[in-house]
Amino acid sequence: MDTRSELQATVDAMAQPGKGLLAADESGPTIAKRFKTIGLESSEENRRAYRNLLLTTPGLGEFVSGVILYEETLGQKADDGTPFPQLSARNGIVPGIKVDLGKIPLALAPGDEITEGLDGLARRFVDYKRQGARFAKWRAVYNITASLPSRLAIEANADSLARYAAISQEAGIVPIVEPEVLMDGDHTIGRSAEVTEAVLHEVFNALHRHRVVLEHILLKPSMVLAGSEHAQQSSTADIAAHTVRILKRTVPSAVPGIVFLSGGQTPEEATANLDAMNRLGPLPWNLSFSYGRALQEPPLQAWKGQASNVKEAQAALLKRARLNSAAALGKYDASQEKS
């Protein structure tokens, strides 16, 4: 199969209506914080056991089309000895890999950050693909204040995202492009919309410059909402209206799928907001989810590190996946939260 056909086949498998992605790519420090909430040590075996719980959930492939793995997880095995990427593929879930190396302060731009990981990326892709990864993810972050992000941060992060996407496509791996406008702060929803529009405009300008094929990417943006410390929190209707308006202004219709990050929202908020957006259709792209905590928080709390709780935890994950699948079709019913 040539590279273009390979990319198309992966996109087709991932961007199925009513299916989304499970983000299970937490770094070492992040998974340690999650485990701390249930009083569990973040050992390699505990991390493997937890990812095994997620990936062996019966029926998950009905609602989830892809899973983003951390580099450690890509090389780990399920209880039956099957490598996690092969286990996922067997269950109809496309395996992918987080490839950025995290964020650092952007030089000469106080308060702004830039993502590392471009050096040696092409060589790493050879190994990731050999292990079974078919897509990748790179995250850029943008802090919001009255003066941030700076123009420099917007341009520098867009260029890095585009360079990563080009390297990824050349390797035959579908890139997920993730420009996250952080919800931390006391900014209004209007300020969030202003920054998100500027960020997405620059990202797609950079993708064009780097000759990235838009039909073979997925976009993973944040929703447009007021800062978490703002006195007036955004309603579901406002979040949906602002987010869809900005996407229509900035995202070409050639992009096959947009998979939102949850960005600190509760599981219920992330589901309701996705549903509200899909009720504003018809839209030119498939709007779905790529949630980490908003899918994982309930199963993690149910599991508590105990093997006897695995089935209960898997039921909690399957419920959230099913509700988000309904939201991706604009058919979510909040009364189902109680069932």
Catalytic residues: 178, 220
**Tokens 């509760």 found at:** 266
Please count the other Cβ atoms lying within 10 Å of the Cβ belonging to residue 289.
Answer: 29
Q: Which residue has the tokens 């839209």?
A: 283
- In whole angstroms, what separates CA 99 from the centre of its chain? 13
Q: With H, G, I as helix, E, B as strand and everything else as coil, classify residue 102.
A: coil
Q: Could you tell me the two tokens for 286? A: 């498939």
Backbone angles phi, psi at 195, to 5 degrees: -70, -45
The tokens describing 257, both together, are: 């799928």
Question: Which residue, 192, 103, 197, 101, is CA-closest to 156?
Answer: 103
DSSP letters for 24-68: E---HHHHHHHHHTTT----HHHHHHHHHHHHT-TTGGGTEEEEE
Q: Which two tokens stand for residue 176?
A: 């997920």
**Alpha helices per DSSP H over the chain:** 3-14, 28-36, 44-55, 71-74, 84-90, 121-131, 151-170, 189-209, 236-250, 267-278, 293-303, 310-328
Q: Could you give the 3-state DSSP secondary structure of residue 132? A: coil
DSSP 77: B
- Extract the tokens encoding 335: 């009364």
The answer to whether residues 312 and 273 touch, using CB atoms and an 8 Å cutoff, is no
Distance CA 329, CA 288 (A): 8
